[in-house]
């Protein structure tokens, strides 16, 4: 099975959580919109296909044979058992998915820090509100979300959040730590002493051979100011 | 199986999407935090249980035997087949879940209209930004989200969004229409001419005997200014 991932070609964004799973799974996949021949046009063609019975609302989506699956957490729910990145039993798979949905909630709040008013406006048009939003995010939300994952790591009984085996949730938590470090280097530096297990998990994921190879390749798009995690000096004080 | 739903007792909120499914499914369930004897304390006990291996991050969560499932879309994913409110095949179940996750994304944006800066602040402290956020939401996001569901209804081949049979997604779309009507009566009145199929779906759900009985009962908490959909005159102009 050759998987086709469709996502914006110049950002990590929500597609990155799927990319990390495909890379760790060691499977054959194409990042379609990044291919010169097909590009974003191939992605938009599927989104705008008025004959499609089940069109995706937005990228990312994954094509696997005739199946098209959208919503990153939904894609990972489906991919998990196929890539050996989620538990075999139903309760375990639901638990992994539940955590992934909590990661998705966190990501929406990260995006809101720089775009609290509207995604249709430039950051510069909502900078003052973004400062307020970011302050509240770091005061209330980061401790709540990351504190939760830190506690789970404490009681997981293994090196990873579900226990002994790595799962797509671990890959996503690596991305969260890496993203917060990119976007808020000063704030994150101060905060990291409160989440030693999450930092250790980040390092453990980075050291996995397939992830290390991926991160060193040009398949990994660098962080930038178009994605979820954006670095703006004035939000990091 | 007697289900236990745990959610804040005074709001519809995200718990309502689960309540609607349990009601339409006609199953035995307890809305635990609304019971005089157990109340919110019973809910917080589970959330704060430091010995729990899989504690929920936040309500709503459902207890079914020993299983505790959180995240409303995840709960519906699990309940769907058990209540005959989702397709039998895997692709159909993924599609229903994908739509539910898109509803969840919309709900987060609805909440942001009145709390764009932070949930930790009062509405009155962010009213000016809320006005801007609401304007952008109605200009860009409502047409995109509801237009998407309207198109799906057009091609579903039946009275419901997945075709001939009702699903939990239909119940959720009813709640979205009802909620937008409550929060933004003027805006919604103008907008409804663009979504005749969604309005018809809303009416069809309301007419279902179990839903009609539920809506007429005191199990249905009225809309109010503590939930996702809040009515503020100044946001509805």
The pLDDT value given to residue A217: 98
Residues of A with Cβ-Cβ distance to B146 under 8 angstroms: none
In a domain, B25, yes or no: no
Domain end marker among A51, A82, A113: A82
Closest to A142 measured CA to CA, from A110, A97, A120, A118: A110
Claim to verify: residue A197 and residue A126 sit in the same structural domain: yes
Q: How far is A78 from chain B (nearest CA, A)?
A: 8
The rounded radius of gyration (Å) of the Cα atoms in chain B is 18
8 Å CB contact of A95 and B120: no
- The residue of chain B with its CA nearest to that of A103 is B57
Closest to A155 measured CA to CA, from A94, A194, A197, A193: A197
Kindly compute the dihedral angle of the four CA atoms of residues B70, B145, B89, A91, in this order, to the nearest 10 degrees: -10
Note whether B145 and B106 are within 8 A (CB).
yes
Claim to verify: residue A69 and residue A114 sit in the same structural domain: no
Claim to verify: residue A39 and residue A122 sit in the same structural domain: no
Exposed, middle or buried by CB within 10 Å (0-12, 13-18, 19+), for A209?
A: exposed
Q: What average pLDDT is seen over chain A?
A: 97
Task: Report the percentage of chain A scoring pLDDT > 70.
Answer: 100
Q: Per-residue pLDDT tens for B166-220?
A: 999 999 999 999 999 999 999 999 999 999 999 999 999 999 999 999 999 999 9
In a domain, B127, yes or no: yes
Q: Does B121 touch chain A (CB under 8 A)?
A: yes
3 state SS of A41: helix
3 state SS of A46: helix
Residues of A with Cβ-Cβ distance to B62 under 8 angstroms: none
Q: Does A54 touch chain B (CB under 8 A)?
A: yes
Closest to B20 measured CA to CA, from B231, B234, B233, B206: B206
Claim to verify: residue A105 and residue A68 sit in the same structural domain: no
Q: Per-residue pLDDT tens for B213-236?
A: 999 999 999 999 999 999 999 999
In a domain, B121, yes or no: yes
In a domain, A215, yes or no: no
8 Å CB contact of B101 and A136: no
- How many structural domains does chain A have? 2
Q: Does B98 touch chain A (CB under 8 A)?
A: yes
Claim to verify: residue A44 and residue A135 sit in the same structural domain: no
The rounded radius of gyration (Å) of the Cα atoms in chain A is 18
Q: Which two tokens stand for residue A76?
A: 């990972």
Note whether A70 and A5 are within 8 A (CB).
no
8 Å CB contact of B136 and A120: yes
Claim to verify: residue A61 and residue A118 sit in the same structural domain: no
Residues of A with Cβ-Cβ distance to B67 under 8 angstroms: 91, 94
Q: Which two tokens stand for residue A174?
A: 């690596």
Claim to verify: residue A135 and residue A78 sit in the same structural domain: no
Q: Does A148 touch chain B (CB under 8 A)?
A: yes
Note whether A106 and A147 are within 8 A (CB).
no
Of the residues A98, A161, A169, the best mutation for testing chain B's interface (the one with the most B CB atoms within 10 Å of its CB) is A98
Q: Per-residue pLDDT tens for A9-21?
A: 999 999 999 999 9
Claim to verify: residue A116 and residue A231 sit in the same structural domain: yes
Claim to verify: residue A77 and residue A121 sit in the same structural domain: no
In a domain, A114, yes or no: yes
Domain end marker among A15, A48, A82: A82
CATH number, domain with residue B189: 1.20.1050.10
Low-confidence residues in chain B, pLDDT < 50: none
Select from B94, B108, B112 the Cβ nearest to the Cβ of A78. Answer: B94
Phi, psi of A18, rounded to the nearest 5 degrees: -80, -45
Residues of A with Cβ-Cβ distance to B105 under 8 angstroms: 108
In a domain, A18, yes or no: yes
The pLDDT value given to residue B1: 83
Q: Does A136 touch chain B (CB under 8 A)?
A: yes
Claim to verify: residue A119 and residue A231 sit in the same structural domain: yes
Q: Which two tokens stand for residue A177?
A: 């730590």
In a domain, A216, yes or no: no
Place of tokens 């820090």: A113
Q: What's the rounded Cα separation, in Å, for the pair B46 and B85?
A: 28
Reported as type and span, the H/E element at residue B5 is strand B3-6
Low-confidence residues in chain A, pLDDT < 70: none
* Residue A105: domain span: 90-208+225-235
The pLDDT value given to residue A1: 83
8 Å CB contact of B118 and A102: no
Claim to verify: residue A106 and residue A141 sit in the same structural domain: yes
Select from B94, B112, B137 the Cβ nearest to the Cβ of A74. Answer: B94
The pLDDT value given to residue A2: 95
B3, β-bridge pairs? B29
Domain end marker among A65, A82, A99: A82
Claim to verify: residue A112 and residue A149 sit in the same structural domain: yes
8 Å CB contact of B98 and A56: yes
In a domain, B219, yes or no: no
3 state SS of B61: strand
CA distances in angstroms from A18 to A3, A45, A62, A104, listed in the order given: 11, 21, 9, 12
Task: State the DSSP code for A197.
Answer: H
8 Å CB contact of B53 and A155: yes
Name the A residues in 61-80 with CB < 8 Å from any B CB. Answer: 67, 69-71, 73-74, 77-78
Select from A54, A78, A94 the Cβ nearest to the Cβ of B69. Answer: A94
CATH number, domain with residue A15: 3.40.30.10
């Amino acid at each position: 099975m050759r998987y086709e991932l469709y996502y914006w070609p110049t950002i990590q964004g929500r597609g990155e959580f799927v990319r990390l799973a495909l890379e760790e799974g060691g499977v054959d996949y194409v990042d379609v919109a990044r291919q010169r021949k097909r590009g974003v046009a191939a992605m938009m063609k599927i989104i705008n296909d008025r004959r499609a019975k089940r069109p995706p609302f937005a990228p990312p989506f994954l094509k696997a044979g005739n199946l098209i699956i959208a919503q990153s957490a939904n894609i990972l729910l489906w991919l998990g058992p196929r890539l050996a990145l989620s538990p075999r039993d139903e309760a375990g798979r639901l638990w992994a998915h539940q955590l992934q949905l909590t990661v998705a909630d966190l990501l929406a709040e990260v995006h809101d820090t720089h775009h609290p008013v509207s995604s249709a406006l430039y950051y510069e048009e909502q900078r003052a509100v973004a400062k307020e939003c970011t302050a509240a995010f770091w005061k209330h939300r980061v401790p709540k979300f990351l504190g939760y994952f830190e506690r789970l790591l404490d009681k997981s009984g293994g090196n990873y959040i579900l226990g002994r085996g790595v799962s797509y949730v671990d890959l996503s938590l690596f991305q969260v730590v890496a993203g917060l470090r990119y976007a808020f280097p000063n704030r994150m530096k101060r905060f990291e002493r409160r989440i030693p297990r999450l930092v250790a998990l980040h390092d453990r994921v980075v050291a996995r051979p397939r992830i290390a190879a991926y991160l060193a390749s040009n398949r990994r798009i660098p962080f930038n100011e178009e994605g979820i995690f954006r670095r703006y000096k004035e939000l990091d004080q």
